[in-house]
Each structure stands twice: as C-alpha cells, then as structure tokens.
Structure 1
Amino acid sequence: MHTDTERCVRAVRSKDARFDGWFFTAVLTTRIYCRPSCPVVPPKVENMTFYPSAAACQQAGFRACKRCRPDTSPGSPEWNARADAVARAMRLIQDGVVDREGVPGLAARLGYSTRQIERQLLAELGAGPLALARAQRAQTARLLIETTQLPMAEAAFAAGFSSIRTFNDTVREVFALAPGELRTRATRSKSAPPQTPGVIALRLPYRAPLNPSNLFGHLAATGVPGVEEWRDGAYRRTLCLPYGHGIVALTPRPGHIACRLSLTDPRDLTIAISRCRWMLDLDADPEAVDDQLRTDPLLAPLVDKAPGRRVPRTVDAAEFAVRAVLGQQVSTAAARTHAARLVTAHGRAIDDPEGGLTHLFPSSEELAGLDPETLALPRSRRTTLTTLVGALAEGSLRLGLDSDWDQARARLTALPGFGPWTVEVIAMRALGDPDAFLPGDLGMRRAAADLGLPSTPAALTARAAAWRPWRAYAVQYLWATDDHAINHLPA
C-alpha cells in the first residue's frame, strides 16, 4: 500500500487508525516517522514519504515519533492472510527466530537460501531480516525499560541485544532518547501502569472493531483445567517458551487488550507477546473481512449485529492438533476432561501465585512415550493420537508459523483418523489460515439451515466461494448464532 501515495496521504490527513501498521509516514524535514493516525498536524505532502515497515524507516535514518509511538502499532494484517515465503518469514521474525537461530536458521526453516530470503524481504519491506529483527528488539527493549525495573544490562540481553553498547546505540537512534531517559519519562507519566515485581504489564493494540464475546468465550469454554482458566474477567494460561515458561493474563478493554506476563526468563518476552497476539488474531483487518462478508445478503445481518469477530487461535500449533484429536466426535466438556487427564499425567507442574494454573501442556516429545492403553478413548482414536504425536516428535510433521498451509493439510490428511473436519479446524485455529472452512461441522450446518443458506457440505462450500479469502471468519459469525458457551464471555 505504501506505493499508493494518494491513498496514503488521504489516510494521514484523516488520521485513520485503520491503516496503522499497513504503512508508516516519514517526514523529510524532521527525520521522524509516524503512524497514519498520529495526532499532530499532518506535514506538507512534499515532505512526506512512505515506508512499509518501521525497520525500513529506521534503516533510512528516521526516528520514532514520541507522540504516536509507531513502534506500538498493530502488525500488518498481510502476514496473516498469506502463506508465501515473505509472510511466513515475517511471522517467524515476530516469533524471535532470527534472535535465536540467526538468518541461516530462518532460511533453513523456510527452505530457501539466506540470499533469497534477504532479497525477497528487501523487495517487499525495504529491510532485510536483520533490520526487521533489530526493530523488534528496539520495541522489546522499550517495553522492558518502561514497564519493569530490570537493570539496563539485563533488559539489553533480555531484548535480544548482544552487547550493552549496541543496546544503548539502538535505543538512542530509534527513540532519540537514552535508555535511562526513557525510564524516567515512563516513571513520571501518569498513565504508566502500576508495576508488580516479576510481572510485565502492557497493552496489546488492535484494529477496531473487536468483538470479544466469541474470541474469549471460545478460549474460556474450551480451556483445559490446569493449563487455562477464566479468572476476574481475564483469560489466563500457561506458556511453554524457548528459554523457560510463563503465565499470561489477557483482559479485553476498549481499544486494547490488557496483558500481564509473568516469565521465568525475560528473554522470552518478544515470543510471548507475538504468540498472544497470534492467539487473539489482533493483527487482523476487520474492516476488510466484514466488508467482504457483507456482500452476502444472508450473512450481512450477522456482521452488522456484532462486527469485528476474530478467529480464536492457539499459542502452540502442536498442542492444538493433539487437542483437536481428543475433541473428535465428543462434547466440549468431554474434550476438556480428556485433555486435563493428559496434562496431569504428562505435563510439567508449575507454580501460579495469582491463580489456579498448575501445569504446562506436554510437548510432543513428552507425549511420545505414552501408553495408549491408559487413554480412555476408542481404540481408533488412540491410534490417531499416538500416530500424530509420533510424527510431531520425530519431525516428519511440522506445524507452526512457518507451515505451508496446503502442505500441512496434505500431511495431516495422510495420517489415520484425520478427516476434513479435523484437518480444517487445525488449519483455522493452529495454522491461522483465514480461508479454512468447516462445511461438515454440525453447528455450521444448523446455523446455515436457520439462515436459509444451503445446509449440505457441497452446496454450502459452493455458496461460500463468495466469502473467500475470509471463510474462517464466516465460520465465527455462523457459530455465533448458537446459544453455546463459546459465544459468550463468562460471568
């Protein structure tokens, strides 16, 4: 979009927050870059230039605006709607892969050479993987500086910097303030959130509108006891992270999601934030989704009644795949019971001083040696589960942010016991495919019949061609017609 100068100028002049994260405005006279909705008086057109990423702005020598804080914009929705190499690379960079494995590790995950990845990212985003990861490190450093009392040296290494000097230079270059000055400003600010030792409190921005009912309702209603809970108006769950583990509490608020993170290792902050945003689908563009779905006259009333529905996802694709198998052909309550037994038997126990969380969900490696006879499941489903866990543990099946959606579908379909419903629900909620569709789902067929839509899978699929590429969101609107616990915020 940043190449459409006229459209960008209109968005900046109208201070349209819908375009935050789509592009960034760099001002040639002040050498500052802003988000489109920056509250300051817009600069003259001849003084504006546009970039597709904050990293490209920083690489061109611009620093972040202190008023609109463009580094805290929602992420570009493009990376959620695509499965090509650039989109998968961006999702991995946001998940901290470059910091942990370097550019060669990023390229190896995608099956390309480092030169190919760098060339593709430069062509589309104006910055290579190192510059994109550096911009993310700067944002993480700012969060740690402003929301914790970590010593600056610890904040530097937790943010992913290899040296104190690089940390200081980067913060000064990007924010035009030294790390100590950033902390002083945050301490003096009346809006600074109260700090609890060991807890990082921050806000996760999103593009309005956002309807929290099905999003948090689904996560709470299907939550695994001990791993997830709804407490005091917040969805809480445990997180298994590269350097340790954590607990997150997410509360819907007007204009943002309040996030409280407790981490055993602060180096996991970037990954934890990325996974929470992914789980809540916060980088979606609800205007684009809803406009497309409104073109169907039978769907339009549902969209108008409660716009901004998101797809509830997961923080761990392999975990969700296991839970999808446990939930085959049983009720929500039964699926939770099966998962809770698995967690109690094989998950690692943790402490939760603020709530009732007790375990991490077991990894594929921890489940690889389970005895199928201990599972209270039909024999065919035991085979399905053990085959899935074995494929995940040995690496012949990889599910994650770097997955090619079509390839993942093909590999899942080849496993015993994986029908269209299981494959598509994994594609929708674990892999994030916005066009995943469940025409054979009982709730879908019931809702379609009530609305006057075709209720047979083949006919409904044909009708849904007009909803592409947002059929996963249409599923959320159709599910919401049922008075089920997944569609309501818990009391």
Structure 2
Amino acid sequence: MHTDTERCVRAVQSKDDRFDGWFFTAVLTTRIYCRPSCPAVPPKVENMTFYPSAAACQQAGFRACKRCRPDTSPGSPEWNARADTVARAMRLIGDGIVDREGVPGLAARLGYSTRQIERQLNAELGAGPLALARAQRAQTARVLIETTAVPMAEIAFAAGFASIRTFNDTIREVFALTPGELRTRAARRTSGSNGFPHTPGVISLRLPYRAPLNPDNLFGHLAATAVPGVEEWRDGAYRRTLRLPHGHGIVALAPRPDHIACRLFLTDSRDLRIAISRCRWLLDLDADPVAVDDQLRTDPTLAPLVDKGPGRRVPRTVDAAEFAVRAVLGQQVSTAAARTHAARLVTAHGEPIEDPEGGLTHLFPGPEALAQLDPESLALPRSRRTTLTTLIGALADGSLQLGIDSDWDAARAQLHALPGFGPWTVEVIAMRALGDPDAFLPGDLGMRRAAAGLGLPATPAALTAHAAAWRPWRAYAVQYLWATEDHPINYLPA
C-alpha cells in the first residue's frame, strides 16, 4: 500500500487508525516516522514519504515519533493474509527465527539461499532480515522498559540483544531517547494496570489490536476446547502452558476494551519476544477486521451476522503440531470427548510443570514424546489409531513440518496423503494451525446446520460455490456461521 501515495496521504490527513501497521509515514523535515493516525498536525504533502515497515524507516535514518509511538501499532495484517515467501519470512522473523538461527536458518526454512531471501525482503520491505529483526527487538525492549520494572540489563537479553551496549545504542538511535529516559517518560504518563495482580518474576503487558474485536467466539472457543492440565479459564482469563525454544512458560490472556491483557511467566527471559509473537498469533490480533467484515457484508445473508457481532477473529494455536494431533483426536466426536482423549495423552506423555497461580500441570507432549506411545493404549477405533500414529511419525521424523511458515497448499497436499485425513481435518488445521484466512469447512456439521438455518446451500459443493464471494476471508465467514448456534464455543465464559 505504501506505493499508493494518494491513498496514504488521505489516510494520514484523516488520521485513520485502520491503516496503522499497513504503512508508515516518514517526515523529511523532522526525520521522524509516524503511524497514519498520529495525533500531531499532519505534515505538508511534499514532506511525506511512505515505507512498508518500521525497519525500513529506521534504516533510512528516521526516528520513531514520541507521540504516536509507531513501533507499538499492531503488526501488518498483510503477513497473516498472504502465503508468498515474503509473508512467510515475516512470520518467521516475528517468531524469532533470525535471533535463534540467523539469516541462514531463515533461508533454510523457506528453501531459498540467503542472498535470495535478502533480495526479496529488501525489494518489498526496504529492509533485510537483520534490520527487520533489529526493529522487532527494539519494539520488544520498549514494551518492557515502559511497562515493567525489570532491570535494563535483563531487558536487553530478553529482547534478543547480544550485549547491553548494542541495546543502549539501538534504543537511542531508534527512539532518540536513552532506555532510562523512556522509562521516566512512561512513568509520568502511566496508563494504569492490566487488571492482574503483581507477582515477582511475572511480566504483565498490553497486546494492541485493530478494533473492533469480538471476544465471544475467540475466548469462548479456546475455553470450551481447553485440554485439562494444559489450558484453563480462570478469573476471567484464558491460561495455558507454552513450549518455547529455551524453556517453558505460562500465559494468561484476558480481553479488555482496547487491548488484550497479557501476563507471562517464563523460565528463560530470552523467550519473551517469541512468547508474545505466539500469543498474538493465537488470538489473531494482527487481522484487519474492517477489511474482513466489509467483504463479508457484501453477502446479504452474512451482513446481519456481521453487524450483530463485528470483529470476529479466528482462534488459532501456539503450536501447529499440537493442534494437528488434537484435530485427529477430535474427528467425529464431541468437544468433550476430544478434550478427554487429549487429556489422557497429556497425563501419560506430557512434561510436568509447576503453576503457582492456577491448575496447569503439563506441557502438551511433542511429537518425539508421542512417538513412544503404545497404539493399543489409545481408546480410539483402530483406523483412528493408525491416523494418529502416522501423523505423529511424520511430525517426529520431520517429513511433515507444520508452522506459521508453512506453504499452505503444500501442507494441504502432505496432509491429504496421510491415511484418515479428509477435507474437514485438513481444512481445520489449515485454518487454526497454519493461519490460512481462506480455509473453509463446507462439510462441517455446524456449518451445514447454520447454512440451512440461514437459507444458504447446505451441501458442501453448493455452499463452496456460494462462498466464492467471501474469498479471501472464508475462515472468518466460518466463525460468523458457527456463531449462529447455541454452543459454548460462542460465549465468553463467566
């Protein structure tokens, strides 16, 4: 969008927050960059230039605005909605792959050479992978500086910096303030509590999102399908355990009027940025609900559903392999039965953890641990056991890799090739584990009932043909159709 100068200028002059994160405005006279909704007086048109990322602005020598704080705007929805190499690279960078494995690791995950990845990112985003990762480290550091009392030395390493000196230099360069000055300014304009009690060793922060956000189906789905020991709804928050690169964590997420309150306990602070990224992915916080809802409203049947509860998100997962296993366990059984099957796996094969603030007891077992299970111990039909053990074997030996960087079409083809994987299982994994915004479940029982009740075609083929007008947001249409049923997944727990 940053190449459409006329449209960008209109967004800046109207202070339209719908475009925050889509592009950034750099002011040539002040050498400052802003989000489109910056409350300051808009600069003259001839002094504006536009960039697709904060990293590109920083690389061009611009500093972040101290009023609108453009680095804290929600992430670009483009990287969630697109399936090409650049979008997959951005999702991986957000998940910390460059910090853990460097640019060669990023390139290897995408199947390209380092030079090809750097060329593609520079061509589209105006910055290479190292600059993009540096911008995200700076953003994470600012959140910690302004919202916690964590010592600066700990913040430096938690945000992914290799040294305190690099941390100090980057903060001064990006924000034109020292870390201490950032904390002092934040203390003067304190924005209040997240609503969670303070506990030493726990980090509380706010996760921004684009309004509107309807929490009913989002948190309702996560709570209704929660696996005992791994997930729970407690004191108005969805809580779950997290398996992370350097250790494990526990997160509590609670909806608030203008943000998601996030409370994190981590065994290793180096996992902080990755944990935040996975929580944002889980709750689909970087979606553009205005664009989605505007498209779905063009169908007269969906329009009343959208108007009644706009801003529905797609509930996702923090671990694609975990969700794939749970999807198989949920084949042709009730939500309660699927939870029971998953809980048995967790008890038998999950890694025990301690939760001083709730009832969480285990990490969900990874493919390597599940590969040791005895199929005869599973209270499943023999064909379902074969489906599950084949999936686990493919995940454990690496022949099937599922994640935010997956090529959606290639992953679908691999899943379809496994025994017992029909359209429903493949599409629900594509929707919730891989993040394809156009994944569609025309054969789902709830979808068929909702379609019939609304006068839409009820057969999978006819419903798919009708849903062509909903593309590329059919996964969101599924959420609106599911919401017509009286089911716990559609209600925010009390």
Alignment partners' CA distance in 2, 1:302 and 1:142: 39
**2:282 alignment partner, one of 257, 279, 284:** 279
Q: Given residue 36 of structure 1, which amino acid in structure 2 is its aligned partner?
A: P
* Deviation per residue, 1:5-42 (Å, 9 max, x gap): 11111111111110000001111111111111111111
Aligned to 1:18: 18
Alignment partners' CA distance in 1, 2:208 and 2:148: 19
Aligned to 1:136: 136
The aligned runs of 1:122-271 (5 Å cut-off) are 122-191=122-191, 193=193, 195-271=198-274
Q: Given residue 449 of structure 2, which amino acid in structure 1 is its aligned partner?
A: R
Per-residue deviation at 1:140? 1.2
Contact 2:319–2:403 under 8 Å retained in 1: yes
* Deviation per residue, 1:323-372 (Å, 9 max, x gap): 00000110000000111111111111111111111111111111111111
Aligned to 1:377: 380
Per-residue deviation at 1:289? 0.9
Alignment partners' CA distance in 2, 1:356 and 1:471: 36
**1:298 alignment partner, one of 286, 289, 301:** 301
Aligned to 1:432: 435
Task: Tell whether 2:97 aligns with 1:97.
Answer: yes
Alignment partners' CA distance in 1, 2:185 and 2:396: 47
Alignment partners' CA distance in 2, 1:48 and 1:200: 38
The aligned runs of 1:321-470 (5 Å cut-off) are 321-470=324-473
Alignment partners' CA distance in 1, 2:405 and 2:6: 34
- TM-score computed with the length of structure 1 as normaliser: 0.98
Aligned to 2:75: 75
Alignment partners' CA distance in 2, 1:19 and 1:13: 12
Alignment partners' CA distance in 2, 1:196 and 1:171: 27
Task: Tell whether 2:116 aligns with 1:113.
Answer: no
Alignment partners' CA distance in 1, 2:296 and 2:121: 31
Q: Given residue 350 of structure 2, which amino acid in structure 1 is its aligned partner?
A: G
- CA-atom RMSD in angstroms: 1.1
Aligned to 2:31: 31
Report SS of the residue matched to 1:123.
Answer: helix
Contact 2:282–2:315 under 8 Å retained in 1: yes
Contact 2:230–2:362 under 8 Å retained in 1: yes
Contact 1:98–1:106 under 8 Å retained in 2: yes
Alignment partners' CA distance in 1, 2:167 and 2:318: 29
Task: Tell whether 2:81 aligns with 1:84.
Answer: no
Alignment partners' CA distance in 1, 2:274 and 2:447: 34
Report SS of the residue matched to 1:362.
Answer: coil
Alignment partners' CA distance in 1, 2:201 and 2:176: 28
Alignment partners' CA distance in 2, 1:155 and 1:405: 36
Alignment partners' CA distance in 1, 2:292 and 2:188: 40
Report SS of the residue matched to 1:76.
Answer: coil
Report SS of the residue matched to 1:201.
Answer: strand
Alignment partners' CA distance in 1, 2:390 and 2:290: 41
Report SS of the residue matched to 1:248.
Answer: strand
Contact 1:147–1:193 under 8 Å retained in 2: no
Per-residue deviation at 1:196? 3.1
Per-residue deviation at 1:145? 2.1
Alignment partners' CA distance in 2, 1:184 and 1:287: 36
Report SS of the residue matched to 1:235.
Answer: strand
Alignment partners' CA distance in 1, 2:451 and 2:308: 17
Aligned length: 491
Per-residue deviation at 1:429? 0.4
Contact 1:33–1:70 under 8 Å retained in 2: yes
Per-residue deviation at 1:379? 1.0
Aligned to 1:315: 318
The percent of aligned pairs where both chains have the same amino acid is 89
Per-residue deviation at 1:83? 0.9
Per-residue deviation at 1:278? 0.6
* Deviation per residue, 1:354-413 (Å, 9 max, x gap): 111111111111111111111111111111111111100000000001110011001111
Per-residue deviation at 1:192? 5.1
Mark the runs of 5 or more structure 1 residues left unpaired by the alignment.
none
Report SS of the residue matched to 1:190.
Answer: coil
Alignment partners' CA distance in 1, 2:287 and 2:129: 23
* Deviation per residue, 1:141-177 (Å, 9 max, x gap): 1122223333322221221111221111100001111
Deviates more, 1:51-60 or 1:176-185: 176-185
Deviates more, 1:148-157 or 1:167-176: 148-157
Per-residue deviation at 1:201? 1.1
Contact 1:199–1:260 under 8 Å retained in 2: yes
Per-residue deviation at 1:444? 0.4
Q: Given residue 109 of structure 1, which amino acid in structure 2 is its aligned partner?
A: R
Contact 2:26–2:33 under 8 Å retained in 1: yes
Deviates more, 1:68-77 or 1:39-48: 39-48
Q: Given residue 99 of structure 2, which amino acid in structure 1 is its aligned partner?
A: D
Alignment partners' CA distance in 2, 1:177 and 1:211: 37
Contact 1:278–1:313 under 8 Å retained in 2: yes
Contact 1:144–1:150 under 8 Å retained in 2: yes
Alignment partners' CA distance in 1, 2:180 and 2:190: 18
Alignment partners' CA distance in 2, 1:281 and 1:266: 24
Alignment partners' CA distance in 2, 1:300 and 1:421: 26
Contact 2:158–2:273 under 8 Å retained in 1: no
Per-residue deviation at 1:190? 2.8
Contact 1:186–1:192 under 8 Å retained in 2: no
